[in-house]
Amino acid sequence: MKTFKKIIYTSLFFTNALILGSSCNSAPQQNKPSLLDSARIVSVNGTTSEILAGLGLEDKIVGVDVASTYPESLSSIPQIGHSRKLSSEGILALNPTMVIGTKKDVSPEIAEILSSAGVNLMLFEQEFSVEGSKHLIRSIADSLGIHNKGDSIIQILKNDLEQINIQKYKDQKSKVLFIYARGTGTMMVAGEDTPIQKIIELAGAENAVSGFTDYKPLTAEALVAANPDVILLFDSGLKSLGGIPGLLEVQGIKETKAGKNKKFIEMDGQFLTGFSPRLGKALQELSTKIYQ
């Protein structure tokens, strides 16, 4: 009986998430605004936190994950840890009425516990593209009954995107290698079907490595073979290596075009890969740094 109950809860969880993920064209429910009056929101995703703040709901947020770094004022809100290591106890300790994030953030087991505790669980589809960013903003705003505020955020995003002109770089197509680093003991490169590859391509460049998905360990041989024009890192990753001097000591770096020209780019991780309302600004900064 216990197993059967769990399957039902899991099924309901995924059905609910799917409805929310495609809610952008639906009319807001009449009772949503009243829910917000006394809402206590835990956001388990940096991008959803940014959207919620943009919607004017920052004062309703009582907990965030570690990736919720923008706006900076979110730093004063209690953290629940990384979205990949969520604890239902840590979330429930904040007495939330809503938990908001993306489908990949909450496991079915935790979803069952939260739902059983009476928490309104809102999980949305996130696609790492320009249209995916707009869709996520619209879905969250519509599900909370504040459609017009969502439209305002999307318009700002559109305006930012219109300022980008990557066509002038179409004949250059720099090869960019992203290295995920947590000290020299943990160094990975981003392959296909990653948010990093998508952001690199949107910025008018190409991923320096291919033939694999997700991430794989960095090797000196693969690094030299890829021979990137540019090496891209999170600012926290570059710091963990000891800055540019430390990066240059990594085997194979000095043999690449990027190493010889010291063409290294560092950017904030959430800003670069969040595909948030700041996507246009992130693309503008990345394309400029690649081709300047």
pLDDT tens for residues 207-230? 999 999 999 999 999 999 999 999
Q: Are residues 99 and 207 in the same domain?
A: no
**Residue 98 token pair:** 């809503």
Number of domains in the chain: 2
Same domain, 199 and 143: no
Co-location of 37 and 147 in the same domain: yes
At residue 76, the pLDDT reads: 97
Label residue 30 by pLDDT band (50, 70, 90).
Answer: very low
pLDDT digits (tens, 9 = 90+) for 69-105: 999 999 999 999 988 889 999 999 999 999 999 999 9
The predicted pLDDT at position 186 comes to: 94
Q: Tell me if 114 sits within 8 A of 88, measured CB to CB.
A: yes
**Same structural domain for residues 146 and 202?**
no
Q: How much of the chain exceeds pLDDT 70, in percent?
A: 87
Tokens of 123: 């999980």
- Higher-pLDDT residue of 5 and 203 is 203
Residues 142 and 170 in one domain: no
Task: Give per-residue pLDDT as tens, 195-210.
Answer: 999 999 999 999 999 9
Same domain, 71 and 147: yes
On average, the pLDDT of the chain sits at 89
CA gap 74, 67 in Å, rounded? 10
What is the reported pLDDT for 3? Answer: 39
pLDDT at 27 > cutoff 70: no
Q: Are residues 32 and 69 in the same domain?
A: yes
Does one domain contain both 18 and 157?
yes
Q: Taking 50 as the threshold, does the pLDDT of residue 35 lie above it?
A: yes
Give CA–CA dist 176/190, Å, rounded. Answer: 10
Q: What is residue 8's predicted lDDT score, i.e. its pLDDT?
A: 32
Residue 32 confidence class, pLDDT cut points 50, 70, 90: very low
Tell me, rounded to whole angstroms, the distance of Cα 278 from its chain centroid: 11
Domain that holds residue 95: 2-162
CATH of the domain at 224: 3.40.50.1980
181 strand-pairing partners: 187
| Whether the predicted pLDDT of 7 surpasses 50 | no
User: Which whole number is the average pLDDT over 41-61?
Assistant: 98
What is the pLDDT, as a whole number, of residue 5? 36
110-120 confidence digits (pLDDT tens): 999 999 999 99
pLDDT in tens, 241-272: 999 999 999 999 999 999 999 999 999 999 99
Write out pLDDT tens, residues 11-26. Answer: 333 334 333 444 444 4
Residue 285 has a pLDDT of: 96
Q: What is the mean pLDDT of residues 55-66?
A: 98
Residue 79's nearest CA partner among 87, 107, 112, 122 is 87
- HEC-encoded secondary structure of the chain: CHHHHHHHHHHHHHHHHHHHHCHHHCCCCCCHHHHHHCCCEEECCHHHHHHHHHCCCHHHEEEECCCCCCCHHHHHCCECCCHHHCCHHHHHCCCCCEEEEEHHHCCHHHHHHHHHCCCEEEEECCCCCHHHHHHHHHHHHHHCCCHHHHHHHHHHHHHHHHCCCHHHHCCCCCEEEEEEECCCCCEEEECECCHHHHHHHHCCCEECCCCCECEEECCHHHHHHHCCCEEEEEHHHHHHCCHHHHHHCCCCHHHCHHHHHCCEEEECHHHHHCCCCCHHHHHHHHHHHHHC
End-of-domain residue from the set 162, 191, 211: 162
Same structural domain, 77 and 212: no
Same domain, 190 and 123: no
pLDDT of residue 172: 79
Which of 132, 162, 192 is the C-terminal boundary of a domain?
162
Q: Which residues pair with 43 in a beta bridge?
A: 64, 100
Q: Is residue 42 domain-shared with residue 158, that is, in the same domain?
A: yes
- Domain-ending residue, one of 162, 185, 208: 162
Q: Which two tokens stand for residue 110?
A: 């935790």
Distances (CA, A) of 181 to 2, 53, 117, 144, 155: 43, 29, 38, 37, 35
Same domain, 150 and 13: yes
pLDDT of residue 169: 67
Please report, rounded to a whole number, the percentage of residues in the chain having pLDDT higher than 90. 82
